[in-house]
Structure formats: structure tokens, C-alpha cells
């Protein structure tokens, strides 16, 4: 009998990205995402960091999904996620999540590069950033980005074409 949990794990991929303008001392948004290709959901963590004035160190837990933007010439992956502070103040004993980041990231078909727009909450004000370059960060994991791209292409190739 096949172990359902082992089967489910083959749908999960971990991808790490850096979103930045590549300027020394500039703002950098580092992401570590788990992509579930069975549900098209993404979850993960992120950190918006800037060492120079104003100093930033915003941690966030991201939740969202991905979909496809296809034209006659290209196919991109759109990742849309909201981030919440890793702590949640209690109000009448119930945690109240605080949204501190929004993310829209358009990735190339290979999941390795793209552009992103994001916003973060600092001192009660939303700061909009973008467009910024997205770079894939290589990690020594069994499920690689190449496997993800190939598996998704294979899965969608089996679907009937829409008229």
C-alpha cells in the first residue's frame, strides 16, 4: 500500500529568492517559499533588510498562491502573497495577525528569475517597492527548481486544451 504522506511530499518544492535592486546598501527582500504544485499554494518566510539609513529588518510569514499568465509568446508564473508579522497580539485571548507585507512576483517559466513589486508596513505607513529584480538562490535540496518546472509542464501537458 502506498504511503499517502510520501506521495504528497513529491508535490512540494522549496525555492529561495532574493528581490533587490542590486545596489550596495539597498533594500533586499529574501524569501524562502514552499510551493505546493498540487494546490498552487505558496507558504514561507521572508525578510526585508537594509543595513543603511533607514535601517530595516522586517520579518514576515507569507501565504498565497501562484497562477499562470500566458500569451502567444510567453508564459510567466504570477506569485501573489500576503505576509504577516511572526507575532500576533492577543485581543480577548484570540491572536490577531498583523499584515505587514504584500507581494506580487512575476517569474519566468523556469521559476529562476523575474520581477517583483512589494509593499511593507513600517511605522504605520505602507511603503511600495518595485519593480525589483528577482533572483533564484541555489540551495542543496533534493527537489530542485528544474524538477518543479518539468513536473508542472508535464502535468499541464496532460490537461485538455481549452477552446
Q: What is the pLDDT of residue 154?
A: 76
How many whole angstroms separate alpha carbon 39 and alpha carbon 133?
26
The answer, yes or no, to whether the previous bond of 60 is cis (omega within 30 of 0) is no
pLDDT per residue as tens digits for the range 22-56? 888 889 999 999 999 999 999 999 999 998 888 89
pLDDT per residue as tens digits for the range 113-163? 999 999 999 999 999 998 999 999 986 555 566 777 777 777 776 656 554
Give me the numbers of helices (H) and strands (E) for the chain, helices first please: 2, 10
Q: Is 130 left (phi over 0), alpha (psi -120 to 50) or beta?
A: left
pTM, 2 dp: 0.78
Q: What is the pLDDT of residue 1?
A: 43
Percent share of the chain, pLDDT over 70: 85
Amino acid at each position: 500500500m502506498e504511503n499517502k504522506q510520501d506521495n504528497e511530499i513529491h508535490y512540494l518544492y522549496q525555492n529561495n529568492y532574493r528581490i533587490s535592486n542590486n545596489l550596495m546598501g539597498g533594500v533586499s527582500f529574501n524569501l524562502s517559499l514552499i510551493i505546493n504544485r498540487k494546490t498552487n499554494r505558496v507558504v514561507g518566510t521572508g525578510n526585508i533588510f537594509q543595513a543603511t539609513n533607514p535601517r530595516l529588518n522586517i520579518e514576515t510569514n507569507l501565504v498565497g498562491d501562484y497562477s499562470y499568465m500566458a500569451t502567444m509568446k510567453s508564459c510567466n508564473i504570477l506569485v501573489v502573497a500576503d505576509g504577516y508579522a511572526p507575532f500576533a497580539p492577543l485581543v480577548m485571548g484570540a491572536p490577531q495577525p498583523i499584515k505587514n507585507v504584500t507581494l506580487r512576483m512575476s517569474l519566468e517559466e523556469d521559476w529562476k528569475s523575474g520581477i517583483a513589486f512589494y509593499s511593507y508596513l513600517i511605522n504605520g505607513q505602507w511603503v511600495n517597492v518595485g519593480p525589483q529584480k528577482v533572483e533564484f538562490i541555489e540551495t542543496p535540496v533534493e527537489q530542485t527548481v528544474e524538477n518543479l518546472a518539468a513536473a508542472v509542464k508535464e502535468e499541464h501537458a496532460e490537461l485538455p486544451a481549452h477552446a
